[in-house]
Each structure stands twice: as C-alpha cells, then as structure tokens.
Amino acid sequence: MSKTLPGKSPQVSATTMTEIVLPSDANALGTIFGGKIMAWIDIAGAIAAGRHARRVVVTASIDALHFVAPVKVGHNVHIKAMVNFAGKTSMEVGVRVDSENPITGDLSHTATAYLTFVGLDDHGRPSPVPPVLPETPEEKRRFEDAKKRRESRMRLAEELRASKV
C-alpha cells in the first residue's frame, strides 16, 4: 500500500546560483562555452529537484535548452531553478540563466532550459516524489505548461520505445 506524499509549493525548491565567467570558461571569442552553462544548469536543477523531493535525484533529460545571448568573460551568471511539476517519481525543473555586466549592472537573459529529474530510493530505484502545489498565477501557468511538456515527453518516449523493434 503506497502512502501519498504531501504536496509542496514550488517556492520550496527555489534555487539561485551565481557564478563568474573566468577565462578558463571561455572560447576564442571570449564568451562562455555552452557546455559550462549546461553544467551549471544541471547543478541548479538538481539542487531544486533535491529540495522538492528531499532525496537523491538524477537527471533524466534536458529537453529544451535555448541559448539566446552570449556571456562574456568577467560577467556574472545568475541561474534560477524551480520545480514546475511533479509526476509519480519525476519532476520538471525550469531554469533561467541571466548574465550581469558587473560594471553597469545590466542584466541579459542568456538561456532557458527544462530538465526532468527522477527521485531515487536508497537502492537507486525510482521513488515517489511529492506533488507540486502551485500558489501564484505564475506558478499555476508554469505548472500547466509543464504538464503539456510532460505529455509531449511521454509521447516521444513511447515513440522511441516503439521504434526499437
């Protein structure tokens, strides 16, 4: 008999990281490697998912990562992550990345990503996670949008399983 976990507000999972772009993080153009931003996104997402689930989590997928502006060496990078939706054992985490010019304070939207994390039990098997209880209009919008993306991910997973005959 399974026990239903109490739901949690998305705010429980809210995570903000700030990093500085060093020369070793950059390409020949003096802008950050996309893979470095991807790593920071994965870390912030894992922290948010872990806060929500209060258990070990693993990345299952990154299904939408859009780079919209470059980030220069010396700029600060702010990574914000929050759980948008939770299924039985998985959670969608939305991540927004902004860069900050440390001299002017100007902020630029740099990237947006959606990741899926799975909660694991002590034996490394998928384990139930709490449902998300959105409270604000923005949280409710993100929750509904995440449900649509989840349906799309589930369809894609089914198509991939069917194509492996």
- Position 3 pLDDT exceeds 70: no
Distance in angstroms (rounded) separating the CA atoms of residues 61 and 154: 12
Per-residue pLDDT at 8 exceeds 60: yes
pLDDT computed for residue 64 by the predictor: 75
Which pairing describes strands 15-20 and 76-86: parallel, antiparallel, or unpaired? Answer: antiparallel
What pLDDT, on the 0 to 100 scale, is given for residue 149?
Answer: 94
What average pLDDT does the segment 132-152 reach? 96
Nearest Cα neighbor of 46 from 113, 136, 145, 132 is 113
For the chain, domains (ranges, CATH) are: 10-163 (3.10.129.10)
- Please determine, for residue 78, whether its predicted confidence score (pLDDT) is greater than 90: yes
Closest by alpha carbon to 16, among 62, 51, 63?
Answer: 51
As a whole-number percent, the residues of the chain with pLDDT over 90 amount to 87
pLDDT band at 13 (very low <50, low <70, confident <90, very high): very high
pTM over 0.95: no
pLDDT band at 165 (very low <50, low <70, confident <90, very high): low
Cβ contacts of 14 within 8 Å, gap of 6 or more: 48, 51, 80, 81, 82
Tens of pLDDT, residue by residue over 84-123, are: 999 999 999 999 999 999 999 999 999 999 999 999 999 9
Mean of all residue pLDDT scores within the chain: 95
46-74, pLDDT tens digit by residue? 999 999 999 999 999 998 788 999 999 99
Quick check: 92 and 114 in contact, CB under 8 A?
yes
pLDDT band at 1 (very low <50, low <70, confident <90, very high): very low
Integer Cα distance of 148 and 155 in angstroms: 11
**Count of CB atoms within 10 A of residue 67's CB?**
15
